[in-house]
Structure 1
Amino acid sequence: MIPTLLRRHFGFTDLRPGQEAVMTRLLAGQSAVAIFPTGSGKSLCYQLPAIALPHLTLVISPLLALMHDQLAFLTHKGIPAATLDSSQSAEQSHHVMQQAREGQLKVLMVSVERLKNERFRRFIQQIPLSLLVVDEAHCISEWGHNFRPDYLKLPHYRHALAIPQVVLLTATATPAVIRDMQNKFDIPSNGVIVTGFYRANLDLAVVPLQPAAREQWLTKTLMQDPTAPTIVYVTLQQTAESCAQMLTRQGLKAQAYHARLSAPLRSQIQQDFMVGRVDCIVATIAFGMGIDKADIRRVIHYDLPKSIENYSQEIGRAGRDGQAARCVVLAHQAQLPVLENFVYGDTPDLSAITHLLILIKQSGTEWEFTLSQLASDTNIRPLPLKTLLVYLEIAGIISPAYSYYADYRFKFVLKKGEILSHFHPTRQTFLTELFACAPQARSWCTMDFDALWQRYQGERQRAVAALDYLQQQGWIELESKQMTEVYRVVTPEWDGPQQAAALHGLFLQKEQSELARLATMLDFFTSPHCLSHRLAHYFADTAAPARCGHCSVCRGQVATLPSLPPLTLPNNETLRTWCDPFVAKTGCQDARGLARFLCGISTPMTHRVSAKSLAGFGQLTTQPFATVLQAVTRVYQ
């Protein structure tokens, strides 16, 4: 069956290593984990079985660009596939849902956040599903390099939606992360297919350079072959802009790419790179996922990557055509405080966790919130806040009940009377009451669920179902926003200080794990052993040669990173001068909070009080956070 489907639908005659093993399991009704390097054809592992399986395949994908790239590929091959995503109009979403209801789709791609949408869950529960595909599945492991708390709920969603089998896809899973994924989805060891990470066509090099020397090195290197497709990875958005401008002044066709650019502009830049109108992309890690450009000849890390896992993903975009490609890291330690600051910024203060527990206790038996407001109220960034909620679930304090959109609005496509004429009198009465509780401003009507209940005892759930039905019929255009989370408080009484300390300890442990990940990366780049071999071994590939012959170590160029210049901290009086205005604005005298302020680490609190306008913000960005923390502790103890 597999060779026939492969030729008929994809035009291929051969499979890459590991693909057939994964497909065979899926077509036999079993689940699988596919650990393949970037660019090794993970997507085909589900795309081919999706054609043969009887029902819809639901794909969880972490990035809009990734979904659109895969959708374009499937559409080109004549395979009925679609996405539901935030870029679509109401009409487009309605059309996709109708296709799924009528069995016209084989593949539907959504983000993991879509599953928190009550309207989507109500819809997808009506659709028979054959397979759940989890792309970038390492995100489910809190000890992985890119943990996303919402991924932890995927095993629950799988059971709730009665999906018989699952395939987990990733390029960057260490042995510990693989075990974690297996356990969460009950996949046996013989269901894990790992292919080799070693790639003979990639030349890996570490070039020790002082930061000031990087521009000259980069310009000289790119000018040697100015049209060779190249990705230059940087850490900060402003670095992407300044570096791209510098290369453009040298006559190179370069563009910056980062998350602050508008979605249409990012899409245009990506397309220009794909077709050769742009030769060099200077990008943050926002660029690259799902990029399937086969002839990328150079991947250069202008700044240190965030981890070995990130490094592996990013260099994996080079040389997918099998031809030689260069992967160079311009290594220095000066950027290490910036990478460490990302870690320290995600560790909530003990006082913030304590405040969160008080809010839960005060809520009674049911706790309702929007994530953005809760982040602001507690001064905890959204990602660690989501992680904290998961920890509270594990501790048995709260349990997720449901999510809903707080705000619904609609506008009429048909006139009210024409809509009402389609229903018998009882339903006409309910819809009349519903419309009466949706005041109209110009063309849009905003739903007031409280008024519907108080005036007519109309239930919210029935009203939402009715609005969904009217949208499905094309009689109204419906929009929803402001996701509200509802949790049940399972344990109403607990020792607040003890629980807060325990949770804070988990975050401190995770912080140390992330800092150790950075230390492991530096050790890798300065290793006297073959880089290709060590990289493969890190990802459980024991078959790579001990000496590859095409890395800087094998050429006798073991990297010794330039030492940092001696850093001196300002005196206590200067520290107080910088910190006191922030203390006056916020009341914060927590040493970690003040250290974050001085190191330029943004939090909800710094946004709320416009801390960036204060003279002290970011004054010690280049200093190690731990050193700044010690100094602030002495001043404000």
Structure 2
Amino acid sequence: MTLAESELAAEARQILRDRFGLEEFRSGQAAVIERLLAGKNVAAVFPTGGGKSLCYQLPSQMLSGTTVVVSPLIALMKDQCDALAARGIRAARLDSSLTEQEFRDAMRGIRDGSIRLLYVAPERFFNERFLASVGSLDVSLFAIDEAHCISQWGHNFRPDYLKLAELAGTLNADRILALTATATPAVLEDIRKAFAIERDDAIRTPFHRSNLHLKSTVVTAADHYETLRHRIESRPRGATLVYVSKQKTAEMIAEQLSDDGITATAYHAGMDAETRATIQQDFLASDDGIIVATIAFGMGIDKANIRYVYHYSPPKSLEAYAQEIGRAGRDGGQSVCELLLLPEDRVVLENFTYGDTPSRHSVGRMIDFCHGQPDEFFVSHYKLSFETDIRILVVRTLLTYLELDGYLQATSPRYDSYKIHPLVTSRAILNNFDGERREFLAGLLGQLTKARKWFSLNTVTAAKALGQDRQRIVKAIDFMAAQNWIEVNVSDLVHGYRWKRRLEHPKVIADQYFEKVVSREQSEVSRLEDVFAIASASNCQSRRLAEHFGEAMDEACGVCSHCLGEGPHTIPPISHREIGDGVRRALAEVCRQYPDHFATARQRTRFLCGLSSPQMIRSRLSRHASFGVCEQIPFADVLRQVEQISPEL
């Protein structure tokens, strides 16, 4: 270590004590921070609760420019900003929950240097006003939380994340930090390649935590709830999370527990933001509170003394399982993580996976649409989703495939429609300018169309009418908003693309991409197989989980169900079921009523299994009495039988 590096390391430790109130770095933190301060790109793979956030929070106080943290977790951003404020460290967050005034205040603090740490939700990078605002920033560190989302081998692939590496270049970021708790070796390799991280600069800390006691019990439908109730009553009281897969299940189980004298609260994404925030705060303050929640709860929640995590419904992958049990025992205390496995739950979870896979016909329609576009074009992902009957995430994935394969290049997205509410008169605005600028703004304000409270502005139309570059119009609107002269709401987001090379054989590409989405479907199903395998307790469960993430354990944990002699468990196979005549008649009827929505056997199967599509939702077919009548039958079984049925029968 050079003298300069030694001095930086000493300064980092001083800040750790003075600003963060900590005496020592946790495992891996010092190695990550030292590399960042040396200007290197770094990956940090720490288990849930392993202290990833300090790896960018502390350097943000030492680097000269702005630290930009990309995170999909709004709760994490809010909690971390609040916690930093309590330590006298100013940080700002930019997400969809902010008002226009809050956005302006945050950007003002970033520009004047009083705020050096900026949390940004990924969708903000689709906002050209935001990109225009941050484009001039000196970005010293670009940190990507949940970096496993960049990998198609990851359990939570988000195609938008593939563009973050390009964005880091656009922002001229001095260094990059990629953070995740759930990277398998293949996923870490994808992260390294995307962000140009050397192998020695990928810091992985031990995955296994000896204070987490992994348990599993195979239950029947008759004793499922009673087993959970008995576990809670028979063990010492402590903060408890119960994970379920559906919102209605969360409410039902919380109500049953409360009726049985065990106070419990439901939590799910269907609740309003204020209610969710209240439930979270009450739980954080409690030593023995019980939350029955969907996976909407826990992301970014930092509670050290959770003693129990019960999976009433199985997680969809070992990555999800690791994240959810990782919320227990962050204080180092002994904690129990038990999976109450109802084998029949496999059907519903597998069927969810099949719901994202479009038909070959829909993939072909989307490729044909793109093929017919001019050299440069804009498209709404949501409109494309509806017109092709492909879920929005899959639409984005297919467009990303076209980018990765060198056919398309994404250009700046834009909002075509702006709604503007004047806070001062046009004369008061124009009095601040003269000459050409005054003439330009007068023309721009003249393009506003009056509604009740808001004026509307189509920026494309305005640009043509004024003979101006559209970007100048957007910057002018942003400037007027920053001066508190107007309020702005934007809508009609469209994404820009240009062809790098044209599709010579669209049908071949459609076939290839359909095979890709089917392959991903099978990959997701196999992830569920891994969950059932660990639940069987046929070997040390902690060792099996650690090996999945590339870590070898020298010896068995000694405290899991297998090590205590409670396994292996026998998991009965799902019996095949035939669909009845009533279902056949209902299917024939709905096909006659909506022939355009049921052109393929896969579309008909999705309807029977309760798996909606954009056109089904728009046509309210997801509310049809027969929607989901086969949700307890495996998708593959229903598809096999539907393929043998003529829709006219």
TM-score (norm 2): 0.95
Change (3 A) 1:470 1:424: same
**1:154 alignment partner in structure 2:** 164
1:583-614 Cα deviation digits (max 9, x unpaired): 53142231111111111111112102211333
- Which residue of 1 is the match for residue 373 of structure 2? 363
Equivalent of residue 622 in structure 1, options 632, 643, 647? 632
Deviation at 1:371, TM superposition (A): 1.7
In structure 1, C-alpha distance between the alignment counterparts of 2:58 and 2:461, rounded to whole Å: 51
2:462 alignment partner, one of 442, 452, 455: 452
When residues 398 and 292 of structure 1 are mapped into structure 2, their CA distance, relative to the original with a 3 A threshold, is same
1:24 paired to 2:34: yes
CA gap of 1:33–1:332, structure 2 versus 1, over 3 A, is same
- Whole-angstrom CA distance in 1 between matches of 2:120 and 2:110: 13
Distance in 1, Cα, partners of 2:560 & 2:503? 59
CA contact (8 A) 1:200 1:548 kept: yes
Closer, same or farther in 2 for the Cα pair 1:579/1:300, shift >3 Å? farther
Q: Please say if residues 536 and 568 of structure 2, whose CA atoms lie closer than 8 Å, have aligned partners that are also in contact.
A: yes
What's the CA shift for 1:277? 8.9
Q: In structure 2, what is the equivalent of residue 134 of structure 1?
A: 144
Q: Matches of 1:368 and 1:277 in 2, distance apart? A: 52
- Compute the displacement of 1:335 (Å): 0.7
Aligned to 1:484: 494
Trace 1:309-348 onto structure 2 (pairs within 5 A). 309-348=319-358
The residue number in structure 2 matching 1:389 is: 399
Contact 2:538/2:569 (CA < 8 Å) preserved in 1? no
Contact 2:371 2:506 in 1 (8 A): no
Q: Take 2:551 and 2:464, find their aligned partners in 1: how far apart are those partners?
A: 64
The answer to whether residue 32 in structure 2 is matched with residue 38 in structure 1 is no
Q: Measure the CA separation in 1 of the matches of 2:592 and 2:196.
A: 50
In 2: Cα distance, 1:400 partner to 1:448 partner: 22
Structure 1 residues 74 and 195 mapped into 2: Cα distance closer, same or farther (>3 Å)?
A: same
2:303–2:330 contact (8 Å) kept in structure 1: yes
2:346 and 2:207 map into 1 onto residues whose CA distance is 27
For residues 37 and 465 of structure 2, the distance between their equivalents in structure 1, rounded to whole angstroms, comes to 55
SS at structure 2 position matched to 1:635:
coil
Corresponding position of 2:97: 87
Equivalence map 1:546-585=2 (5 Å): 546-563=555-572, 566-571=575-580, 574-582=583-591, 584-585=593-594
Preserved contact between residue 314 and residue 531 of structure 2 (Cα < 8 Å): no
Residue 77 to residue 590, structure 1, CA distance change in 2 (3 Å): same
Contact 1:131 1:165 in 2 (8 A): yes
Residues of 2 paired with 1:181 and 1:604: CA distance? Answer: 32
Question: Letter of the aligned partner of 1:72 in structure 2?
Answer: D
2:298 is the counterpart of 1:288: yes
CA deviation vs aligned residue, 1:207-237 (integer Å, no higher than 9, x gap): 1111231211112222335852100001111
The answer to whether the aligner puts 1:298 opposite 2:308 as a matched pair is yes
Q: 1:58 aligns with which of 63, 68, 91?
A: 68
Q: 1:510 to 1:228 in 2, by over 3 A?
A: same
Q: Which moved more, 1:123-132 or 1:479-488?
A: 479-488
- State the percentage of identical aligned residues: 39
Letter in 2 for 1:283: A
**1:561 CA displacement:** 4.0
Q: Deviations over 1:393-445 (max 9, x none)?
A: 12333221120112212222222211111101322222111111112323322
| CA deviation profile, 1:91-144 (whole Å, cap 9, x unmatched) | 110011111111111100001111121111111111101001000110100110
Note the C-alpha offset of 1:636: 3.3
One-letter amino acid matched to 1:189? R
> How far apart, in 2, do the equivalents of 1:219 and 1:545 lie?
36
Question: Are 2:242 and 2:291, in contact at CA under 8 Å, matched by a contact in 1?
Answer: yes
- Which has the larger displacement, 369-378 or 521-530? 521-530
CA drift of 1:528 comes to: 2.0
Q: Does structure 2 retain, via aligned residues, the 8 Å contact 1:586–1:609?
A: no
* Whole-Å separation in 2 of the counterparts to 1:501 and 1:451: 38
Alignment of 1:186-335 (within 5 A): 186-224=196-234, 227-276=237-286, 279-335=289-345
Structure 1 residue 171 displacement after superposition: 0.6
What is the aligned length? Answer: 636
Task: Kindly indicate whether the alpha-carbon contact (under 8 Å) linking 1:582 and 1:614 is maintained by their aligned counterparts in 2.
Answer: no
Secondary structure of the equivalent of 1:634?
coil
CA spacing shift, 1:31–1:613, aligned 2, 3 Å:
closer
Q: Distance in 2 between matches of 1:176 and 1:636?
A: 44
TM-score (norm 1): 0.97
Q: Is the 1:226–1:279 Cα contact (8 Å) retained in structure 2?
A: no
Q: Does 1:440 align with 2:446?
A: no
Q: Quote the RMSD (CA, aligned, Å).
A: 1.7
Residue equivalent to 1:109: 119
> Offset at 1:630?
0.5
Could you tell me how far apart the structure 1 residues matched to 2:203 and 2:628 are?
Answer: 46
Residue in structure 2 matching 1:69, options 74, 79, 88:
79
* Equivalent residue in structure 1 for 2:434, among 397, 408, 424: 424
Distance 1:277 1:414 in 2: 52
Q: Point out where structure 1 has 5 or more consecutive residues left out of the alignment.
A: none
